[in-house]
């Protein structure tokens, strides 16, 4: 059988790009297949106004090449989508990656051939490529969720999804706009859309917590300091659960005197960003502790939002940090603008989209444009929209009918020679994605090199190891408050999706330790042939 490539990598975001770089360095013949016309993945598609990373730019970057981190200059504390995309393009140029990437091509099917032990990968451009190995680098939040609201197709104006935003941008000046959703994407874009639009109506099903970003241009002295100490900072970050170098206060919120607790929350609030959840170590373990943080943020909402009814509707009812915490610039203050209206639809779903707007709670709303800030079919959606067939023609869809099952988020029983970067069961979305991606890519690259060195040609996760890992991921999730609400972490945003807490919540250090132990024990839990 003719083999086209040693490895086919699906996706040219940060995971696919670094995978290509590593595999090339090891001398493997590799092809990356990418649906978009350029590199960048998430940052290629999510071009909605205000899109930025909520991890600080000096940390949300590759660390595999110290020269790269020294030469690249981030300009703001939180990088904008255009700046991150520029960085992705810089990396593609610097390492000459594009010549092995096939753009504008979507993988439709990947089939394992039991007899020859190879994968055949098919695309929407009629390619049929045979590879020894397949690595999926699809991203965790890359399959946009368009909710099945009746009448959606009947709306006569333009409809935009934040996760698939027009490349030429959208000018809302003078327009009336309806926004469905109040997750991170909405919270980032609403303040900017409100500045342009004649009127903005926000339809909120679940109120969300957000912490101010206090974004600002980066101080050159701070940057110089980071660059001088980059290795130490990266190393320290890897010892922390989220892989982000930030100070975690190990005290319990509930055991801290009220006045001191308030002072610490205020300090974190003034600093801004995701570090708010590290104010105390038990915010996601203890209901009562969590309530102290909820109360702090709710008091802020009441202070900022002038209309008491609107402030009440904006106050989240969930546990803080249960859904992914948001980071914003002027979100709540936006609801003080005369051209912004909040419609609380928490008790009744939208009845229907109409040709001129939508009907909710018996009332018709009209607008020129509709924005769906409705998120993603997270972690599994991008994998399942490809028809992946493992041993005996078994589909991944069938294997995952009761929820995703993987070994370490990296591989699956019944799907030999297929690796998933940041798959379900990996820490991924609960961590800084860049170091998590690099750890996976390095693990996979080293594994392929080790197989080659030993003459093994097949590697497959053992069902028992997979079962044990799935059980472990589930049982540690049950110990935290994070698994208790209806978030995309548990697939609750997609009707019919099995409710399973998908990412590994044990933290990056424990995960790295486990991955290293698996290798040290001769790829424990894998069958090599
Ligand atoms: O998506 P979401 P997102 N009717 O799922 C609502 C990352 N990210 O794109 O909560 C009415 O959070 C839905 O309501 P509910 C980050 O990890 C990072 O905003 O399901 N409403 C919710 O309000 C983030 O967590 C960054 O009740 C409907 C919203 O739509 C993840 O991506 C920036 C509905 C979807 O919110 C996803 O964020 C952006 C319906 N039928 C994103 N269906 C940064 O780095 C859905 N909704 C800062």
Residue-level pLDDT at 126: 97
User: CA-CA distance, 357 to 363, in Å (whole number)?
Assistant: 11
For residue 51, give the ligand 1 atom closest to its CA: 33
User: CA-CA distance, 510 to 238, in Å (whole number)?
Assistant: 10
Residue-level pLDDT at 1: 85
Nearest CA to ligand 1 atom 45: 53
For residue 150, report the distance from its CA to the centre of ligand 1, in Å: 20
Residue-level pLDDT at 147: 97
Residue-level pLDDT at 234: 97
For residue 398, report the distance from its CA to the centre of ligand 1, in Å: 27
Contacts of 99 (CB under 8 A, 6+ apart): none
Nearest CA to ligand 1 atom 9: 375
For residue 281, report the distance from its CA to the centre of ligand 1, in Å: 26
For residue 324, report the distance from its CA to the centre of ligand 1, in Å: 9
Choosing from 185, 186, 353 the residue with most ligand 1 atoms within 8 A of its CB, the one to mutate for a pocket test is: 185
Q: What is the pTM of this model?
A: 0.97
5-143+377-528: CATH architecture: 3-Layer(bba) Sandwich (3.50)
For residue 206, report the distance from its CA to the centre of ligand 1, in Å: 10
For residue 327, give the ligand 1 atom closest to its CA: 48
For residue 371, report the distance from its CA to the centre of ligand 1, in Å: 12
For residue 375, report the distance from its CA to the centre of ligand 1, in Å: 4
Token pair of 221 as six digits? 């002295």
For residue 488, give the ligand 1 atom closest to its CA: 5
User: Within 10 A of 176 (CB to CB), how many other CB atoms are there?
Assistant: 19
For residue 431, report the distance from its CA to the centre of ligand 1, in Å: 18
Choosing from 374, 377, 485, 491 the residue with most ligand 1 atoms within 8 A of its CB, the one to mutate for a pocket test is: 374
Each residue of 380-409: pLDDT tens digit?
999 999 999 999 999 999 999 999 999 999
The pocket around ligand 1, CB under 6 angstroms, is made up of 52-54, 141, 147, 149, 162, 180-186, 188, 205-206, 324, 327, 350, 373-376, 429, 488, 493
Nearest CA to ligand 1 atom 1: 375
Residue-level pLDDT at 188: 98
Residue located via tokens 């019944």: 414
For residue 350, give the ligand 1 atom closest to its CA: 4
Residue 337 DSSP one-character state: S
Residue 117 DSSP one-character state: T
What residue spans in the chain does CATH classification 3.50.50.60 cover?
Answer: 5-143+377-528
pLDDT < 50 regions, the chain: none
Nearest CA to ligand 1 atom 16: 184
User: CA-CA distance, 208 to 183, in Å (whole number)?
Assistant: 7
For residue 165, report the distance from its CA to the centre of ligand 1, in Å: 15
For residue 349, give the ligand 1 atom closest to its CA: 4
For residue 283, report the distance from its CA to the centre of ligand 1, in Å: 22
For residue 326, give the ligand 1 atom closest to its CA: 48
Contact 102, 34 (CB under 8 A): yes
For residue 46, give the ligand 1 atom closest to its CA: 39
Q: Tell me the CA distances in angstroms from 158 to 154, 203, 355, 473, one per residue in order.
A: 11, 17, 11, 42
User: CA-CA distance, 410 to 502, in Å (whole number)?
Assistant: 13
Each residue of 262-281: pLDDT tens digit?
999 999 999 999 999 999 99
Contact 422, 399 (CB under 8 A): no
Nearest CA to ligand 1 atom 10: 206
For residue 187, give the ligand 1 atom closest to its CA: 19
User: CA-CA distance, 181 to 129, in Å (whole number)?
Assistant: 40
Contacts of 294 (CB under 8 A, 6+ apart): 209, 316, 319, 320
Choosing from 141, 184, 201 the residue with most ligand 1 atoms within 8 A of its CB, the one to mutate for a pocket test is: 184
């Amino acid at each position: 059988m003719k083999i086209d490539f040693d490895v086919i990598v699906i996706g040219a975001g940060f995971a696919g790009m670094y995978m290509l770089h590593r595999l090339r360095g090891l001398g493997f013949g590799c092809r990356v297949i990418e649906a978009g016309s350029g590199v960048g993945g998430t940052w290629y598609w999510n071009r909605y106004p205000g899109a930025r990373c909520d991890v600080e730019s000096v940390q949300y970057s590759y660390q595999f090449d110290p020269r790269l981190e020294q030469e690249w200059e981030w300009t703001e504390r939180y990088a904008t989508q255009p700046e991150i995309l520029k960085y992705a393009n810089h990396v593609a140029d610097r390492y000459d990656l594009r010549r092995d990437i096939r753009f504008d091509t979507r993988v439709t099917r990947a089939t394992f051939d039991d007899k020859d032990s190879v994968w055949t990968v098919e695309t929407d451009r009629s390619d049929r490529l045979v590879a020894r190995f397949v690595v999926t680098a699809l991203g965790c939040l890359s399959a946009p969720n368009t909710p099945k609201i009746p009448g959606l197709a009947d709306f006569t104006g333009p409809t935009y999804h934040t996760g698939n935003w027009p490349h030429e941008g959208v000018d809302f000046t003078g327009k009336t706009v309806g926004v469905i959703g109040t997750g991170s994407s909405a919270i980032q874009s609403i303040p900017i859309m409100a500045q342009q639009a004649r009127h903005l109506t926000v339809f909120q099903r679940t109120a969300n917590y957000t912490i101010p970003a206090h974004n600002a241009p980066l101080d050159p002295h701070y940057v110089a300091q980071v660059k001088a100490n980059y290795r130490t900072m990266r190393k320290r970050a890897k010892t922390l659960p989220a892989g982000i170098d930030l100070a975690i206060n190990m005290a319990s919120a509930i055991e801290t005197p009220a006045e001191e607790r308030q002072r610490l929350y205020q300090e974190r609030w003034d600093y801004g960003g995701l570090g708010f959840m590290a104010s105390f170590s038990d915010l996601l373990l203890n209901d009562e502790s969590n309530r102290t943080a909820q109360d702090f943020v709710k008091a802020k909402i009441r202070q900022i939002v002038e209309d008491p009814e609107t402030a009440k509707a904006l106050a989240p009812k969930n546990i803080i940090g249960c859904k992914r915490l948001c980071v914003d610039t002027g979100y709540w203050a936006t609801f003080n603008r005369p051209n912004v209206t909040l419609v609380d639809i928490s008790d009744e779903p939208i009845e229907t989209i109409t040709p001129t707007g939508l009907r909710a709670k018996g009332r018709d709303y009209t607008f020129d444009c509709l924005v769906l800030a409705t998120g993603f079919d997270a972690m599994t959606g991008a994998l399942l929209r490809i028809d992946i067939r493992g041993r005996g023609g078994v589909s991944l869809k069938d294997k995952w009918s009761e929820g995703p099952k993987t070994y370490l988020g990296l591989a699956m029983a019944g799907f030999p020679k297929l690796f998933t970067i940041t798959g379900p069961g990996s820490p991924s979305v609960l961590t800084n994605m860049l170091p998590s991606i690099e750890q996976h890519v390095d693990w996979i690259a080293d594994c392929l090199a080790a197989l080659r060195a030993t003459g093994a040609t097949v590697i497959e996760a053992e069902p028992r190891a997979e079962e044990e890992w799935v059980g472990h991921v589930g049982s540690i999730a049950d110990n935290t408050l994070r698994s208790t609400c209806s978030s995309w972490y548990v697939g609750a945003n997609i009707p019919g999706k099995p409710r399973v807490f998908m990412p590994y919540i044990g933290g990056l250090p424990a995960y790295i330790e486990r991955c290293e132990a698996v290798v040290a024990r001769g790829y424990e839990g894998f069958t090599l042939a």
